[in-house]
Structures are given as structure tokens and as C-alpha cells.
Amino acid sequence: MVDDTPANLQLLSEMLKGRGYRARAAVSGKLALQAARSDPPDLILLDISMPGMNGYEVCAKLKADEKLKDIPVIFLSAHSETADKIKAFSAGGVDYITKPFQFREVEARVEAHLELRRQKFQLQENYDKLRRLEEMRDSLVHMIIHDLRSPLAGIYGFLELIREKAAGALSPDLRRYIGDALGSAKQMARIINNVLDTSRLEEGKLKLKLTECDLSGMLKEAVSGLKPLLAGREIRFTPPKNTPKILADLELISRVIQNLLANAIKFTPKAGGLIRLDIKSSGGLVRVGVQDNGPGIAAEHRSRIFEKFAQVELPAGRQKNSTGLGLTFCKLSVEAHGGRIGVDGEEGQGSTFWFELPVNAPAP
């Protein structure tokens, strides 16, 4: 409690102590600041008209101190003009009570702001706990992913050897099975790379290797690489006549295209499934679009599908068989180039995933 009138301090002190509060009194702004710095209080009741340093100045100094800035300040003053109250709130006060005051009003406002402070502490504690849990989860995921890389490389390598060495002795069915197994191994490798590179992008540790890229060629290559997964679906792509080449990290943007195309294939029906690819350029930007005629995405899910480990509800009969990192990787990769990514469409009418990149090199 800060007031240059001892009688006011004594009255408030007795009332607050009677309600179970521990109350400290200061008869000047300077003494109040010294007391707060030595032992920060939970709340401050502050008068305005005081010699040496007025209440506005005291509050401003409190808010400028990293250790004290979050302490709620309630102004308790005889000034009742609107301009005085505005100035008090501008200085950082959370409430304003005019003198002469009713103690029940003071008590109610003190309790309300202390409860808000308690809730704020609880919220911060919960947030810190969640952050620690997320760090533990990420560490566990990285450890598992690193352990998976070596056996996966062995599986892929031996399957390739079988296909090369025993190609003539294998039946068409067996050759197809080996091809499917290799495709699954490639998909697992993409998931592993997504997990590791998403983490590196989040931490800003993945340096872009900029080179001149032909997006039309990259789209054609992605389509060719994913043909074994089409299973009756159709992909239509007519390259534009004049598409400017861009400066980008070839590997990262290729993987963005592959992820978006693989998603479109996964959520497009085999019977009548159609995926359209297009490239447009305008105003120094190049936009790549991947449109499907799948189930679409509800409006409330569109913002969160790019979040880390996010999953959305799928239509009946569809399983959630994704890490929830593919689109996060795409978002971080595109934004690392100074671009942006998004999705359009209506639920039940398909989706169009798109990303835009600047024609010139991204800013550092």
C-alpha cells in the first residue's frame, strides 16, 4: 500500500489484515519501489498525489522493471476525472478506485485481481509443463527415428539386390511384391526425413542450398515417381508455356511437391479419382496448385492441418495413417523460402493445396 497519508495506510492495513492479507505500507514512491524490489508483493494499492514521485511515475517504473512488471497495480485516489483514470491505465494500472472508498469495494477488487494473478501463474505453470512434455516427446521421436534409419536402409538395399540379382527367376507376382515393398520403404524414408528436417527447420539449423529450379520439370518428376501409387487415379498436368525459373533449395521444394501430391493421391478415390496440377506466375511470385476430388477439408480444420502432429477427423472408413508432420514440413520449407502455403475448397468437394514462392532468392 502506497500513500503519503499515514492515517489512510493504517486504516487500509487494519482492514486488509482483518481479512487475512499480509499488508506492507510505504509512505512514498521511492520507498515503495525499494520495498517491492527487495520482496515483490502480489498486488499494489497506489495513491496518485504524493510528493517527490507521483503514482503515475511509480507505476511506470514498476512496469519498466522486468522483475516487477507483472504485479497488478490498483490506483486508489481522490482524483475522479476521466482523464486521471485514463492516465492511470496508460501507466499500467489494472483498476482504479476513487476516494473516499468503501472497503467492501476495495476488498472485492483486490480479491478479483489476486484471483486473476493466481490463474495466470497456473496457466504459465501448465504451459511450462506442456513445453517440457513436448520436448520429451520430440527427444523420444528423434531417438526412435535415428534408430530406424539403419535397419530401413538395410531392408531397402537387400530388396534392391533381390530385384537385380534374381530378376529372371522371379514370377511377375513376386516382382510386383518386391516393387510394392520398395515403395513402402521409400515412404518410410520420407517420413523419417520429414521428422528430422521439421525439427531442423524449427530450430533454424537447416541451411538452404539455393539453385535455379524448373518447377514444371519438378512436377513431372514427382508424378513419375509416384505412378506406382496411382492405382487407377488420373493426374492431369499441362505445363505452362512460360514459367519463370526460381531460386530455391531443389531437394526441399521437390519434397514439398511430393508430399502434397502423395496426400492428394491418398485422399482421392481410386474410382474416378482425378488430380490436377497447375503453375501460375504473377507479381514476382510463382504458385503451384495440387487439386483433388477427394472428401475435402472442413473449414474449421484448415488452419490446424499445418500444425505439428495435427490430425483431423476423416470420413468413415478412412484411417489416420500419418505422422501429422508432412504438411508441417511443407509449411516450414515454403516459409523458409519467403513463401506461403494454404488450402482451399469445401468439405465434400475436394481440396486444392497450393504454395507460392518468390521468383528471386528468398531473404536471409
Q: What is the pLDDT of residues 305-340, one digit of tens each?
A: 888 766 555 444 444 444 457 888 889 899 989 999
Residues 141, 195 contacting (CB under 8 angstroms): yes
* Residue 53: per-residue pLDDT: 93
Q: Where are the beta strands (DSSP E) in 86-191?
A: 95-98
Residues 325, 345 contacting (CB under 8 angstroms): no
- Give strand pairing partners of 62: none
Output DSSP code: residue 19.
T
CATH of segment(s) 210-358? 3.30.565.10
Tell me the Cα Rg of the chain.
Answer: 32
What is the rounded CA–CA span in Å between residue 141 and residue 146? 9
What is the rounded CA–CA span in Å between residue 60 and residue 48? 12
Residue 233 CB: number of other CB atoms within 10 A? 20
What is the rounded CA–CA span in Å between residue 153 and residue 208? 25
* Domain residue extents for the chain: 6-101, 132-202, 210-358
Residue where the block lists cell 482504479: 96
Angle at the Cα of 353 from the Cα atoms of 348 and 355, rounded to 5 degrees: 165
Reply yes or no on whether the pLDDT at 197 is more than 80: no
Reply yes or no on whether the pLDDT at 138 is more than 60: yes
Name the band, by pLDDT with cuts 50, 70 and 90, for residue 283.
confident
Instruction: Of 115, 78, 79, give the one whose Cα is nearest residue 94.
Output: 115
CA 21 remoteness from chain centre: 41
* Residue 316: per-residue pLDDT: 43
Instruction: Of 220, 224, 218, give the one whose Cα is nearest residue 238.
Output: 220
Residues 44, 32 contacting (CB under 8 angstroms): yes
Instruction: Of 40, 49, 48, give the one whose Cα is nearest residue 71.
Output: 40
Give burial (CB, 10 Å; 0-12/13-18/19+) of 227. exposed
Reply yes or no on whether the pLDDT at 301 is more than 90: no
* Residue 309: per-residue pLDDT: 62
CA 152 remoteness from chain centre: 31
Helix (H) / strand (E) containing 258: helix 250-266
User: What percent of the residues of the chain are helix, what percent strand, and what percent coil, each to the nearest 5?
Assistant: 50, 15, 35
Reply yes or no on whether the pLDDT at 72 is more than 90: yes
What is the rounded CA–CA span in Å between residue 201 and residue 364? 14
Q: What is the pLDDT of residues 168-194, one digit of tens each?
A: 788 888 888 888 888 888 878 877 877
Q: Where are the beta strands (DSSP E) in 42-170?
A: 44-46, 73-77, 95-98
Reply yes or no on whether the pLDDT at 142 is more than 90: no
Residues 192, 260 contacting (CB under 8 angstroms): no
Residue type, 101: F
* Residue 314: per-residue pLDDT: 47
What is the rounded CA–CA span in Å between residue 228 and residue 225? 8
What is the rounded CA–CA span in Å between residue 235 and residue 304? 27
Q: What is the pLDDT of residues 75-111, one digit of tens each?
A: 999 998 999 999 999 999 999 999 988 899 999 999 9
End-to-end CA distance of the chain: 51
Average pLDDT, the chain: 86
State mean pLDDT over 122-131: 93
C-alpha cell of residue 124: 504459465
* Residue 320: per-residue pLDDT: 45
pTM for the whole thing? 0.56
Reply yes or no on whether the pLDDT at 240 is more than 90: no
| The domain defined by 6-101 carries CATH number 3.40.50.2300 | yes
Residue scoring higher pLDDT (42 or 242)? 42
What is the rounded CA–CA span in Å between residue 54 and residue 91? 12
Q: What is the DSSP annotation of 298-343?
A: -GGGTTTTTSTT---PPPTT------S-HHHHHHHHHHHTT-EEEE
* Residue 27: per-residue pLDDT: 94
Instruction: Of 284, 247, 250, 278, give the one whose Cα is nearest residue 264.
Output: 278
* Residue 143: per-residue pLDDT: 79
CA-CA distances (angstroms) from residue 166 to 145, 156, 179, 226?
Answer: 31, 15, 13, 25
